[in-house]
Structure 1
Amino acid sequence: MDTEGTHDAQHTAPQPSDGAHRPEPVVPRPAVPRTPPAAAPRTPPPPAAPPTVPAPPATPPGAAPSGSAAPEPPLLSWLRTPRPASAPGIWTLGHRPRPAQEPDRVPGRQLISGAVISFLCGWLLWSLLWNKYLGGYWLWPLLLLTPDSWRTAGGDKMIFVWVTYLYYGLVLALLVVVFGRMGRWPEFARRFLWPVLGRFRNRAPAAPRPQPAADRAQWPDLRAHGATDAADKLAAEARTGRMNDVDVARIERAWRSVRSGKNSLASFTDTVLRHGAAACAHPSGRRDLPRRTAHHDLLAHQVRIGTTADDLRNPYQHRGAGCALDPGVLGTSLLAVGPAGSGKTTRVVKPVVESMCLQALAGQSAVIVVGPAGSDLGPDEAFDVVVRVGRPDPDCDLDLYGGTTDPDEAAGILAEALVGDLAEQLPGGDSRRAATALAQLLGPFRAAHDRFPTVPELRELLDGAPQAMSALRTALQDGGDHTLLRELDARARQSERSGDLGVLLADRIALLDRPAFAAFFDPTGSTRQVSLRALDHPLRVRIELPERGHAEASRILARLVLAQFTECAVARADRSLFACLVLDEAAHTVTAEALRGMQRLRSANAGAVLTLRSLDDIPDALRGTLLGTVGCRMAFAGVTTWDGARFAEVWGKEWVETRDVTDRQIIAEGAAMKAFHLFRHLVTGKAATAKAVTVRTVERERWSASDLANSVPPGHAVLSVTSVAGEHAPPVLVDLRS
């Protein structure tokens, strides 16, 4: 188990019976400041030793009790906090479920006045009962039920005194019940009295410690299955503060690999006893991020992005609840639409990226983050690899062909990146002919050189340069591969026809054949290249695109990464890790083929997070398909009415109860009544009327286009989520600032 269960969990091969050491898979190291490049393997080995034990997170989950001599670590409170089952999208840590329907709520002024009036009436009645005029009458039940001997001379008068006090108490209790029910005293106390009293309490009473069998801080599952020594070691690490929430999530995942039979109990126990909380560490050796900016619950795999607003348009059970995202809902993919500055990156994308990086350190996910250079998506230390396309002296490179050795697959991915946005304008309405043209060159070139061509070489071949084509033909003839020679000859004949796609492909690939990209996309092995074929490892990769000055090239690369991700995530042999692609600013990136690939992610334990400034950034024919493909949709403050109309259409309608109130003037029939109405009109300024209420059930849009465009406050968004299991949550207004 020296591979630190994180790696062992990625493979399904059985463990040796003698607990022998198994080699680690090779994954990239954490990102470090750039140094002069040197020849290196495509994927470097992990570091020799993990760093020192980190301190608990700066903002640990849960709160430690105060006022005690030796408070327990916050981690223990976090472990013991209940996480009740709830609807998707609700923050479950310490959540208190509410009823589905809002109870009848009395206005505050009416509640206070009713409580005061009922109290005064009850006090008045109690005073009258003690009055000398009524005092003799209300005691007759007592006199009727007690013997006369208790009240005569020589009788046991003391018993009569105690019975009388009991009778007074029963009468007083009856008055409290009757007038308290009339004045709604319990609701008054719940809404006004208890909150005021709660402010004067120094602290809430400590929650009772759960029984050892149900105490997660004691690792009961390990004890129940024979790993008592490991459970004792981990419990001691948690008590002494040497463990954090990432350690808990990581070790629990390693334990699940033991329970599933992928690893042995003996090797797991031995690793935990030797390394304690640092057991089963990530290949980078890191156990936490440098800093956190969001609230995370790694046991529920959730990140909190805000609080559901207390708005009448929100369902009652969601109001005031925390709003969170997790792999269970991100597996259906998320689309966030809003203008610049609305908070898409800072309030949604960045917390999701941070959550995925933490879960990657726990061996639960792999994350690929793509965004323009300069966007704040987390520090470099939070990632294993940072690819800065277009920067001089790169530390890492991006594999243009997605790590595949199949020319047809590489041609399909590359064609989608180059001309996927022009599919409707191509013959046949898709990029299949472009993929065929690329395959006619990539197959022969790989057979001749045992690698795919560089960008300049591919450009020359697409241009039909005589020298490049002749050299490739000669290499194939020397190898005696006549089948690929026929492919090359077919490409040469097609290039002579008018309207050949090779010209368009050459123009598009020329956008990547620029001096700024000269050190990138090199398949010769001279640089470290990031391949999305490694999504079965807990990778953390950030790719920065040169949007400024190379906008079209950035769009090509964004489509390339999206195409590679949808292909590689589905093709994984081990899908135990959640693979997440975060594409910040996906304008001109979504294509018909990309949508077909995203539809397959849900069953592959993968998902994508896309942001757009407007739905106008994608073709009109794909807007409805995009909203139907993703399961989580988010409209930020400031969206236009035509974008809001698309969201309103996909969110549909619901049946609501409406009340129409009409005022009918009362006609007075007598002189006294007319005088009273005249006096009332003079005092109130309003005529005497009678209200008629009509209740109807009608079908209305959950959120109309006008509401989305004009009624969403700044810092808010309307979010609807769907889980991989098919559970739906209605669109709710979320305050992203809380």
Structure 2
Amino acid sequence: MDSDGTQDARRAQANPVPRPAGPPEPPAVPPRPSVPPRPDGSAFLTWLRTPRPEAAPGVWRFGYRPRPDEEPEVIPGRQLISGALIAFLVGWLIWSLLQNGYLGTWWWIPFDLIVPDSWRGGDSRIGQVGNVVVYQGYQVLVALAIMVAAGRLGRWGEVWRRFVAPRFRRPRPRQTAPAPADDPAAWNQLRAAGAVEAAERLARDARAGLMRDVDHARIARAWQGVRSGRHSLASFTSAVLKDGAAACLHPSGERDLPARLARHDLVTGQVRLGTTADDARNPYAYRGTGLALGPDLLGTSLLAVGPAGSGKTGTVVRPLAESLCLQALAGRAAVVVVGAAGAMLGPADAYDVVVRIGNPESVHDLDLYGGTTDPDEVAAILAEALVGDLADPHPGSDSRRSTTVLAQLLGPFRAVHGRFPSVPELRGLLDGAPGPMGELRTALQQAGQDSLLRELDARERQTGRPGDVSGVLADRVALLDRPAFAGFFDTSGQSRPFSLKALDHPVRVRIDLPERGHADASRMLARLVLAQFTASVAVREDRSLFACLILDDATGVVTPEAVRGIQRLRSAHAGAVLTLRTLDDVPRPLRGPLLGATGCRVALSGLTPWDGQDFAEVWGKEWTEARDVTDRQIIAETPAGKAVHMLRRVITGKAPTARAVTVRQVERERWSASELAHAVPPGHAVLSLTNVKGEHAPPLLVDLRD
């Protein structure tokens, strides 16, 4: 959609370069004022009124025309034309034989039954005329019968539809204006509820070109709030009458993104990723249709695997992030995008909060404790971030001991200071240094916290014993206690930390991780954000807002607890998007559970056979019909037979054969590991989809460049 001028003004230069001094120029004659073009909303109305029929999961519904489930039998053009010509010649031959009497006179029996006896051989003029008329009419009737039979045998109708009719067909104008009762631009649901004036104002703005797709989606979302009782009808009506299409704005005041790279349809919430290839391995109903994703599919989470340069960020992550940012502006989603600094995840103006960890120019900070005040919850999340990748993916791991160690320190510290410790303070407590531990004990004794003193005593007794994980935790915290992160993770209230507790609101967040020189710290922070996200969305009061976390690189992030958290996202109206260069970045025991926890799986081109084997196993097998065809050439022994065979060779281009066909049902892999590794063209991907209702699409070969 075109901008309304606010974004253009933002790009204007504040201090233009001054021109050199010179003699004053004569005043130019001002141009005659031209009449500004009248704004027109026809493009928006056409977009809004385009049909969006129900379709299978993943189908781009904008202007979609359903196709049959099975592919119709298509006769080759050469065979079709030759068959039609032969049928015509056979019909002409039969008619000639009938006319010349070579086939007898039996076909005149119906004529004898029709003509009265008084007309035969009579001299009356009426009898002669009637006899001629009936005679000619009977001949025409017989000719038509022969023509119809020849046309059916020669498929003349198919020849007309495929080769003749397209040359005379004129493009019919698309019927974009539905009946008034179904016109989405008329806002009939508002009229039915009594908000007639608000509906009229919105309809006028739409016709005048003042409404965009984001405006329509945002106001429709606000109307849903009125119907659910979250907002009053009076406040909604007054806002619409005052601001029109600009009513119910996002807190940022933005009505669109600075730029769009993908095709979006905010009526259905879909973003188009590509086109399903016209390939025999794809179901016929999907071939040639657009492939799109929306919250109904992202609610089951998505995993994309492909090597560097296969298009994970540009063709999958960037369009999804853009779509969710648009839906956040419409008040329907909250999105958190996590990636390396410098990744192509959209401009900073497309987000409300941009956290650049390790960059001193960052306006916002990241809350290390996720805005939670419960020490036990914080200890579990922090343990997952610090040592989740070191834990054994089987029961009896060190995660519980790490959670216990952190809880023994975080609880007493918060009780004394009213906040959680900073990174240097937490590192000192985990090291068991006498100074920090002694100060904490003294403060607890002065406050009379006897129960928390027992927690501290237990921690001191366990320090240094075999199996104590405090040293490992201290080493991991030391990765964040670096000069590059000195101004981050502040707990004193001097910074502007972002907390994932804000996912109750339609917020757009981008977190840049400092992968260069701090790879281990970046992976640890990614695990922290994922753990905080899964914990925060589970306790939201308003789950009508779709929440999504996008991890541009999930290397080192997948842990047993992360897999369990992803499985719980569907019930919380949330989802996660993870990308990996290879499944080898995931521990072997977790690859199957990870593929099972995500409903949408994407295998991009360039996959290794080992990764392809994992995808082939999770996609399973299907029963297919295998045909074994055996052709045996027929040898003609008579001259007539040889002539017939020669004619058949001219028509079909093949020698006459006797074909034996054996049909049997076999079970084969939908996509084998070899096909995924070697048969996926560049710029393509094979993906399977599952929506929150349980409907699924089989693995589809998709061209991500279209």
Query: Normalising to structure 1: TM-score of the pair?
Result: 0.84
Distance 1:679 1:496, change over 3 A: closer
Match of 1:93 in 2: 62
1:45-75 CA-partner distances (Å, limit 9, x unpaired)? xxxxx986789xxxxxxxxxxxxx9986122
Matched, 1:211 2:179: yes
Distance 1:380 1:191, change over 3 A: farther
Matched, 1:185 2:156: yes
Distance 1:334 1:166, change over 3 A: farther
2:142 and 2:653 map into 1 onto residues whose CA distance is 46
Structure 1 residue matching 2:256: 3-state secondary structure: coil
Match of 2:229 in 1: 261
1:573 and 1:687 map into 2 onto residues whose CA distance is 74
Amino acid at match of 2:291: C
Structure 2 residue matching 1:287: 3-state secondary structure: coil
Distance 1:368 1:129, change over 3 A: farther
Task: Using the TM superposition, give the Cα deviation of residue 689 of structure 1 relative to its aligned residue in structure 2, in angstroms.
Answer: 5.7
Match of 1:108 in 2: 77
Match of 2:617 in 1: 649
1:333 and 1:556 map into 2 onto residues whose CA distance is 21
The unaligned stretches of length 5 or more in structure 1 are 1-49, 56-68
1:241-262 CA-partner distances (Å, limit 9, x unpaired)? 1001111111111111111122
2:576 and 2:601 map into 1 onto residues whose CA distance is 12
Match of 2:363 in 1: 395
1:104 and 1:184 map into 2 onto residues whose CA distance is 13
Verify the 8 A CA contact 1:122 1:176 in the aligned structure 2. yes
Match of 2:29 in 1: none
Verify the 8 A CA contact 2:393 2:560 in the aligned structure 1. no
Match of 1:438 in 2: 406
Match of 2:353 in 1: 385
Structure 1 residue matching 2:504: 3-state secondary structure: coil
Task: Using the TM superposition, give the Cα deviation of residue 311 of structure 1 relative to its aligned residue in structure 2, in angstroms.
Answer: 0.8
1:655-677 CA-partner distances (Å, limit 9, x unpaired)? 11111112446688x79899999
Task: Using the TM superposition, give the Cα deviation of residue 230 of structure 1 relative to its aligned residue in structure 2, in angstroms.
Answer: 1.4
2:196 and 2:100 map into 1 onto residues whose CA distance is 74
Verify the 8 A CA contact 1:305 1:736 in the aligned structure 2. yes
Aligned pair partner of 1:696 in 638, 655, 664: 664
Task: Using the TM superposition, give the Cα deviation of residue 105 of structure 1 relative to its aligned residue in structure 2, in angstroms.
Answer: 2.2
Structure 2 residue matching 1:627: 3-state secondary structure: helix
Task: Using the TM superposition, give the Cα deviation of residue 226 of structure 1 relative to its aligned residue in structure 2, in angstroms.
Answer: 1.7
2:99 and 2:139 map into 1 onto residues whose CA distance is 10
1:458-499 CA-partner distances (Å, limit 9, x unpaired)? 111111111111122222222221211221221122113234
Distance 1:671 1:158, change over 3 A: closer
Match of 1:728 in 2: 696
1:265 and 1:307 map into 2 onto residues whose CA distance is 42
The unaligned stretches of length 5 or more in structure 2 are 9-37
Aligned pair partner of 1:406 in 374, 387, 396: 374
Aligned length: 671
Structure 1 residue matching 2:391: 3-state secondary structure: helix
Structure 1, 94-103 or 188-197: larger mean CA deviation: 188-197
Task: Using the TM superposition, give the Cα deviation of residue 103 of structure 1 relative to its aligned residue in structure 2, in angstroms.
Answer: 2.0
Task: Using the TM superposition, give the Cα deviation of residue 76 of structure 1 relative to its aligned residue in structure 2, in angstroms.
Answer: 1.2
Task: Using the TM superposition, give the Cα deviation of residue 82 of structure 1 relative to its aligned residue in structure 2, in angstroms.
Answer: 1.5
Matched ranges for 1:570-719 at <5 A: 570-664=538-632, 690-719=658-687
Match of 1:79 in 2: 48
Structure 1 residue matching 2:512: 3-state secondary structure: strand
Match of 1:336 in 2: 304
1:313-338 CA-partner distances (Å, limit 9, x unpaired)? 11111111111111111101000111
Distance 1:122 1:272, change over 3 A: farther
1:158-195 CA-partner distances (Å, limit 9, x unpaired)? 99998888767755654554333222233334444445
Matched, 1:314 2:282: yes
Verify the 8 A CA contact 1:386 1:542 in the aligned structure 2. yes
Verify the 8 A CA contact 2:603 2:685 in the aligned structure 1. yes
Matched, 1:420 2:394: no
Aligned pair partner of 1:559 in 527, 532, 543: 527
Distance 1:296 1:686, change over 3 A: closer
1:251 and 1:438 map into 2 onto residues whose CA distance is 46
1:673 and 1:188 map into 2 onto residues whose CA distance is 30
Larger C-alpha radius of gyration, 1 or 2?
A: 2
Verify the 8 A CA contact 1:53 1:278 in the aligned structure 2. no
Match of 2:31 in 1: none
Verify the 8 A CA contact 2:50 2:176 in the aligned structure 1. no
Verify the 8 A CA contact 2:301 2:599 in the aligned structure 1. yes
Structure 2 residue matching 1:662: 3-state secondary structure: strand
Distance 1:73 1:440, change over 3 A: same
Structure 1 residue matching 2:405: 3-state secondary structure: helix
1:508 and 1:724 map into 2 onto residues whose CA distance is 37
Task: Using the TM superposition, give the Cα deviation of residue 90 of structure 1 relative to its aligned residue in structure 2, in angstroms.
Answer: 1.0
Task: Using the TM superposition, give the Cα deviation of residue 501 of structure 1 relative to its aligned residue in structure 2, in angstroms.
Answer: 0.7
Verify the 8 A CA contact 1:296 1:304 in the aligned structure 2. yes
1:59-112 CA-partner distances (Å, limit 9, x unpaired)? xxxxxxxxxx99861221122211111111111111111222222222233223
Distance 1:168 1:563, change over 3 A: farther
1:538 and 1:192 map into 2 onto residues whose CA distance is 54
Matched, 1:475 2:443: yes
2:340 and 2:230 map into 1 onto residues whose CA distance is 40
1:356-399 CA-partner distances (Å, limit 9, x unpaired)? 00110110000000011111011111110111111122211111
Distance 1:77 1:674, change over 3 A: closer
Structure 1, 259-268 or 445-454: larger mean CA deviation: 259-268
Match of 1:40 in 2: none
1:686-736 CA-partner distances (Å, limit 9, x unpaired)? 998633211111111111111111111111111111111111111111111
Query: Normalising to structure 2: TM-score of the pair?
Result: 0.88
Task: Using the TM superposition, give the Cα deviation of residue 136 of structure 1 relative to its aligned residue in structure 2, in angstroms.
Answer: 10
Q: Identity of aligned pairs, percent?
A: 64
Structure 2 residue matching 1:638: 3-state secondary structure: coil
1:169 and 1:674 map into 2 onto residues whose CA distance is 35
Distance 1:181 1:676, change over 3 A: closer
Aligned pair partner of 1:118 in 68, 73, 87: 87
Aligned pair partner of 2:481 in 484, 489, 513: 513
Distance 1:122 1:305, change over 3 A: farther
2:446 and 2:306 map into 1 onto residues whose CA distance is 58
Structure 2 residue matching 1:319: 3-state secondary structure: coil
Match of 1:360 in 2: 328
Verify the 8 A CA contact 1:615 1:643 in the aligned structure 2. yes
Amino acid at match of 1:438: L
1:146 and 1:227 map into 2 onto residues whose CA distance is 76
2:498 and 2:323 map into 1 onto residues whose CA distance is 22
2:159 and 2:638 map into 1 onto residues whose CA distance is 43
Aligned pair partner of 2:495 in 515, 524, 527: 527
